Amino acid sequence: MTKRRKPRFEVHRLTHLSYGRDRFLDAEGLNISRTGMLCRTTDPIDVDARVSCTLGTPTLADEWVSCDGKVSRCDQQPDNSYEVAITFNEIDVAAEPLFAALLHD
């Protein structure tokens, strides 16, 4: 049984994460919903760490969606990458139309 409240959509997009003091990491977005996203990183991020995410949209080449959230889980994978689940706290209001396009709303 799943705890998900909103449907998830596969994205497979470059995602920029920033967290901690001046720590930046590129990640691959795997799926996204209105409440969070799952991404793959090369480095672990502590659970409960606050992160800012910038995600490229699938339809608009130079448009980005920005969201703030916190890490709800970080699981090491067999290939030594990490799947990082982020729960959103805030989505940039100016990016709402882009976010809607990303989620096919």
CA distances from 103 to 6, 9, 47 (A): 11, 7, 25
Look up the pTM and report it: 0.81
CATH level 3 topology of 9-102: Thrombin, subunit H (2.40.10)
Write the single-letter amino acid at 13.
R
Nearest C-alpha neighbor of 14 from the set 45, 33, 50, 39: 39
Report d(CA 15, CA 80) in Å as an integer.
Answer: 19
pLDDT in tens, the chain (105 residues): 455 566 666 777 788 899 987 899 999 989 888 788 999 999 999 999 999 988 776 555 566 778 899 999 999 999 999 999 999 998 777 667 766 776 666
